Homo-oligomer: A and B are copies of this chain.
């Protein structure tokens, strides 16, 4: 039967389809490490007049003018960090990798590395609605590709069987919520740059606020564990 060749769900994929995860992870870690480190190249030492070379106030004043770039550096570092953590988290559940999955992951890395460009765009023209929309669309694209990876992994039986389906489902939802928020921000951006910028700044803050995401994930895990025991 041809159907046994491409099982719709759980039974593990055939060995010849399995590409192994090691290299996909190593390659992804490399791309994330480069994208996150290249951000510091945007920070340039300000030039001082020769008479001001040893003047501390002159240097501090000059640095104040690149403060927006420093802010953009910190924000982008955190955003790229969020998508790296999200991918690391996914591979705690995805245990097999086939050729199609590798290509969706390459698409994910492409969307992530584009952030280096769209973040520079919004950093240069924060009050330009086109920049705000494009930045939001980029973040949405990253989230959508991540959801696609989750979807594909579950459909093709690439995920681990140890975990209760409700846990994986909940984690997938947690990953999809930002896409909805960013869609709202893109809509808002057409009306008001300020409101969109506020959303772009708040979402990363939620992710790194100590204990918040941990609390959510803990509740989800506890609930899914209870469900498994009950069955």
Contact A5 B222 (CB under 8 A): yes
Contact A99-B217, Cβ < 8 Å, known A33-B34, A53-B128, A55-B128: yes
Contact B124 A45 (CB under 8 A): yes
Is A114 at the interface (CB under 8 A from chain B)? yes
Closest residue on chain B to residue A114 by CB atoms: B40
Cross-chain contact of A77 among B23, B89, B102, B110 (Cβ < 8 A)? B110
What is the total number of residues of chain A having a CB less than 8 Å from a CB of chain B? 80
In the complex, what distance in Å separates the CA atom of A55 from the CA atom of B5? 52
User: Which residues in chain A, 48-87, are within 8 Å of chain B measured between CB atoms?
Assistant: 48, 53-57, 59-60, 63, 74, 77-78, 81, 84-85
Closest residue on chain B to residue A48 by CB atoms: B125
Give the interface centre of A22, A34, A37 by most chain B CB atoms within 10 Å. A37
Contact A99 B85 (CB under 8 A): yes
